[in-house]
Structure 1
Amino acid sequence: MAFAVMLTGMFAMGTFVSWQIEKSVAEVKAASTALYINAFIAPHLQNLSGNILPASSIQGLNQAMERPDFQASITSVRVWNRDGLIIHSGEPDLIGKKFTPPSASQKAWSGTIAAEFDDIPGDEEIAERFSGLPLLKVFAPIRNFETGDIIAVVEFHERAERLNSELAASEWKAWLATALITLNMMGCLFIIVAHGSKTIDRQRAALKERVSQLSELLRQNRILQSRIERAAQNATEDNERVMRRMGYDLHDGVAQLISLALLRIDRIQGAEGERDNLHKIQKALADALTDTRNICKGLLLPEIQTMTLRDALMFMIRQHERRTGTTISCQIADLPDKASQFVKIALCRYLQEGLNNAFKHAEGQEQLVEVSWDGVTVTVEVADKGPGIRDASLALSEPRLGLASLKDRIESIGGALSIKSVPGNGTRIKASLPLLDEGDADAA
């Protein structure tokens, strides 16, 4: 495209330069011819009266046109008036005849010398006899020496063989210079474009290599992320198994031993002081048994193993209500019947911790649980109307609230946890986890 534009520009420039050279040469030649006219022709036309020349003026004109230097280059001379009448001419048969004035003569009547190459008039009677020769036509105004008014226009036909040769040589030189400059520009442009193309190719290859590397890193990152999520899920399930085993151990070990000690104490009979001491021991052991059983209930979630996610969440809510004697408002949307165990455990532990915090720090004021599911993500929100937290951003890093470890648990399996609290207007924590309907997934 660039080459096409430059070639078009080259032809346009060459044509313009050729035309300008021809025009300039014609003007220079016309100016030199005008000097001859003013020197040898104009003096004999000063006595022009109307359309008639005196015999002396005609004789002077004929003598001027018979000069050897004049006849060597001039093929024809015509003197025109404004009406298109030829007042005098080297061709006697044209004198006194009226024709349509040549268009170039109008410029001469305005006072300017006009010159043109090979502009042969269409009128057959005044066609140049030497039509086979290249001609330069010059139209020069003749002024009255006293008043300065234009009284006639002289038309000269000058042989232009040599002039045409010089013009052709000049035009060829101009075309050659234009072509060389254009070719040089094309060469420079080609080198620039070729260099740029190679640079682009190198950059494209480097970019492809970088994209390939990034794609490989992204693939490895996905694999690592998948492994991390599986490890987190396994860790959640392992942690739950450890807590369950610990609960069983406490229940079956420590709690059973305390129960046995209490039974043995009931059978002991002795003095009144001993009975008081035994009563105190019995009371301490009973309290320890109660605390141990409460700990076991917090660690064990055996009931949720076979429940749906909705039933498991409702179980945790009702268990909290029974344990604390508070009431919780629930808004639970339809949830899929099948859910992964690690999702179920994580949400139940989150709900347990959130409700415990609401009871402990907000005294269970207007506790609310909202559960929603959009087909991809399940969201569980726990809210209260307690005193709130001054800096909610620090709450997720505060160990005593238990939210920091809860946040780590949720995020480790691909979820997110956030907290919003306004001092004096309660707290709201929200957990979101990816959850697909496993029934639909299995069917697919």
Structure 2
Amino acid sequence: MYADVRFRASSEAMPPERRSLAGQFLLVAFAVMLIGMLAMSTLVTWQIEKSAAEVKAASTALYINTFIAPNLQDLTADGSLSHENIQRLNQAMERQDLKASITSFRIWNQAGLIVHSSEPTLVGKRFTLPSPSRRAWTGVIAAEFDDGVGDDKIAEHAADLPLLKVFAPVRNFESGNIIAVVEFHERADVLDSELVAAGWKTWLSTALITLNMMGCLFVIVANGSKTIDRQRAALRERVSQLSDLLRQNRILQGRIERAAQNVTEDNERLMRRMGYDLHDGVAQLISLALLRLDKVQVSSEDRDNLHKIQKALSDALNDTRSICKGLLLPEIQTLTLRGALVHMIRQHERRTGMEITSRISDLPAQAPQYIKVSLCRYIQESLNNAYKHAGVRELQVEVNWDGATVTVEVADEGSGIDNFNETAGEQRLGLLSLRDRIESIGGALSIKSTLGAGTRIKASLPLACKGEADAA
């Protein structure tokens, strides 16, 4: 039996050409690392800005607690201050070290009233507390850069100068309660320049680190990509070679199967010729010898020898006729496949007296000659084996066709075969002969046997229409 090659190679076996692994990595890694660089740089810049604002706010709060808070201790609930405290507040704000950086200040009470301010027009007016001011009333020093958002009535716009707004709570020295919130507006142009420089440095360092990482990873991936490309090219070449070998194998297998089909038909013709030669030659000569012996007159002493000769010749004639019956098949060329199989079953019943139960499904009217010959010989040999070795008087034959394959199963309920290691050489030879006959023309044969439960022999053959068989 020739190897059944299951490999399927075609132009679809290999994926179409696409971007190399290194190119894919470069695109994906660039996008991922660019997003990561943007996120990390933004986070670091924001953290630096927040830290700088908190440092400024802490230093401003220290100044407030030192110079401003003592002058607000007599602040009343309605927001009034004594004239002396107001003068001291103004003097504190006139310090040269503050005037250079502080553009304005405001003192709020909890009701949103501006108690005192460097802008006299705002004193005594009530506004909605800014969000940082509300946080300051909880005891937190709040600081933010001026973003131009807020109440336009009290917003300060210092001629394109960036401002840092600091809101610091002022507590009563005795009770510890917050009595006011001081709002300072500090020039942040120098700080802003430092933050911009720090931001650029952060972006640059992040970009350099990212590019360095990408470069190192790209070298590794590029080397791996080259290896994969070489392996892919080698695999593609291998697949092409296997495809050629597969096509050649199919061509050779087709030729071998056609040769086996021709051999099957040639063997059948040879066996028929031998059967006719034995029947018309040897059997006739033995019959003539028996007739001649009947006319021979011998003495009483030689009569016993004559009977023995006649008995031997009669046995030889019976054996010769049995051999002829086995060699000769009916003229199956004129029969359908179903008719040929039924004829073989009935012929075995007549010759052996066995009862055979047969179930034959609808079979195609046309079948190649070698199929009919092989299946007829298969049934003949299987039934003969069962008759000789199974020790039963009943057999079952079942024939099915699924539109592509015809299956013939012969079953008995006899003694079975002991792991196919039986000592009967004739039976083993018969089974091997059956397997070789079926598999040589592209079929398959299976044998299932259980001691004491019988044996089932199933043969399957692909059944092509006659036109296809002739074309092959």
Asked if Structure 1 and Structure 2 have the same fold, meaning a TM-score greater than 0.5 normalized by the shorter chain, the answer is yes
For the structure 1 residues 334 and 103, does the alpha-carbon distance in structure 2 shift closer, same or farther, using more than 3 Å as the test? closer
1:338 aligns with 2:369: no
Deviation at 1:129, TM superposition (A): 6.8
The residue number in structure 1 matching 2:271 is 243
- The residue type paired with residue 48 of structure 2 is I
Deviation at 1:77, TM superposition (A): 2.4
- The residue type paired with residue 163 of structure 1 is L
The residue number in structure 2 matching 1:88 is 116
Tell me which of the two structures has the higher relative contact order, counting C-alpha pairs closer than 8 angstroms and 6 or more residues apart: 2
Counterparts in 2 of 1:35-434, with a 5 A limit?
35-50=62-77, 51-119=79-147, 122-123=150-151, 126-128=154-156, 130-301=158-329, 303-363=331-391, 365-385=393-413, 387-391=414-418, 393-394=420-421, 399-400=426-427, 402-434=430-462
Contiguous gaps of at least 5 residues in structure 2? 1-27
Task: Tell me the distance in 1 between the aligned counterparts of 2:269 and 2:116.
Answer: 132
- The residue type paired with residue 405 of structure 1 is S
My pick for the range that moved more, 211-220 or 114-123, is 114-123
SS of structure 2 residue aligned to 1:96: coil
SS of structure 2 residue aligned to 1:420: strand
1:31 aligns with 2:58: yes
The question of whether the paired residues in 2 share the 8 Å contact of 1:419 and 1:429 is answered with yes
The question of whether the paired residues in 2 share the 8 Å contact of 1:375 and 1:436 is answered with no
My pick for the range that moved more, 94-103 or 188-197, is 188-197
Task: Tell me the distance in 2 between the aligned counterparts of 1:113 and 1:63.
Answer: 24
- The residue type paired with residue 248 of structure 2 is Q
Deviation at 1:334, TM superposition (A): 3.2
Task: Tell me the distance in 2 between the aligned counterparts of 1:175 and 1:328.
Answer: 94
- The residue type paired with residue 38 of structure 1 is N
The question of whether the paired residues in 2 share the 8 Å contact of 1:392 and 1:419 is answered with no
My pick for the range that moved more, 188-197 or 151-160, is 188-197
1:14 aligns with 2:46: no
- The residue type paired with residue 166 of structure 2 is V
Deviation at 1:441, TM superposition (A): 6.8
My pick for the range that moved more, 260-269 or 120-129, is 120-129
Offset from partner CA, 1:327-354 (integer Å, 9 cap, x none): 4333333333333332222222221222
Larger CA Rg, structure 1 vs 2 = 1
The question of whether the paired residues in 1 share the 8 Å contact of 2:58 and 2:141 is answered with yes
The residue number in structure 1 matching 2:20 is none
The question of whether the paired residues in 2 share the 8 Å contact of 1:389 and 1:421 is answered with yes
- The residue type paired with residue 133 of structure 1 is L
Count of residue pairs the alignment pairs up: 443
The residue number in structure 2 matching 1:435 is 463
For the structure 1 residues 183 and 310, does the alpha-carbon distance in structure 2 shift closer, same or farther, using more than 3 Å as the test? same
- The residue type paired with residue 409 of structure 1 is R
Task: Tell me the distance in 2 between the aligned counterparts of 1:311 and 1:102.
Answer: 107
The question of whether the paired residues in 1 share the 8 Å contact of 2:338 and 2:360 is answered with yes
Task: Tell me the distance in 2 between the aligned counterparts of 1:383 and 1:141.
Answer: 105
Contiguous gaps of at least 5 residues in structure 1? none
Deviation at 1:146, TM superposition (A): 2.0
Offset from partner CA, 1:179-206 (integer Å, 9 cap, x none): 3233334444544554444343323222
Deviation at 1:29, TM superposition (A): 0.6
Task: Tell me the distance in 2 between the aligned counterparts of 1:362 and 1:187.
Answer: 80
Normalised by the size of structure 2, how large is the TM-score?
0.84
For the structure 1 residues 190 and 243, does the alpha-carbon distance in structure 2 shift closer, same or farther, using more than 3 Å as the test? same
The question of whether the paired residues in 2 share the 8 Å contact of 1:396 and 1:403 is answered with no
For the structure 1 residues 26 and 360, does the alpha-carbon distance in structure 2 shift closer, same or farther, using more than 3 Å as the test? same
For the structure 1 residues 69 and 322, does the alpha-carbon distance in structure 2 shift closer, same or farther, using more than 3 Å as the test? closer
For the structure 1 residues 93 and 325, does the alpha-carbon distance in structure 2 shift closer, same or farther, using more than 3 Å as the test? closer
Offset from partner CA, 1:228-251 (integer Å, 9 cap, x none): 323322332333333333333433
Deviation at 1:124, TM superposition (A): 5.2
Task: Tell me the distance in 1 between the aligned counterparts of 2:119 and 2:248.
Answer: 103
Offset from partner CA, 1:133-189 (integer Å, 9 cap, x none): 222221111112222121222222222221121122111212222232333344445
My pick for the range that moved more, 197-206 or 72-81, is 197-206
RMSD: 2.9
Structure showing the higher helix proportion among its residues: 1
Deviation at 1:28, TM superposition (A): 0.3
For the structure 1 residues 52 and 370, does the alpha-carbon distance in structure 2 shift closer, same or farther, using more than 3 Å as the test? closer
Deviation at 1:286, TM superposition (A): 2.3
Task: Tell me the distance in 1 between the aligned counterparts of 2:278 and 2:402.
Answer: 41
For the structure 1 residues 156 and 383, does the alpha-carbon distance in structure 2 shift closer, same or farther, using more than 3 Å as the test? closer
